[in-house]
Amino acid sequence: MRAYAFTELAQLYFIGDTPTMATKALGRWIHSTPGLRDGLLAAGWRPYMKMLPPKVVACFVEFLGAP
């Protein structure tokens, strides 16, 4: 697992969307997926982080599956 920019990871989950739309959609998933936000916070994520360390990316994959 490697570090990703938030927008880069969002575009992997929302292929075909613009960077802005993908980022907004991933943000909605953070708030609507049970346990995801708490898991991300425990992994070191903070709102408005631009770069996501590998531990945070792993949390996304755990809750959402691989992009």
| C-alpha gyration radius of the chain | 11
Element (H, E) at 4: strand 4-5
pLDDT at 39: 97
pLDDT tens digit string along 9-53? 999 999 999 999 999 999 999 999 999 999 999 999 999 999 999
pLDDT at 13: 98
Q: Global pTM?
A: 0.91
The answer on pLDDT for 1 being more than 90 is: no
Q: Where do the structural domains in the chain lie, given as residue ranges?
A: 4-64
pLDDT at 67: 93
Q: Distance of alpha carbon 40 from its chain centroid, rounded? A: 9
CB of 26 closer than 8 Å to CB of 20? no
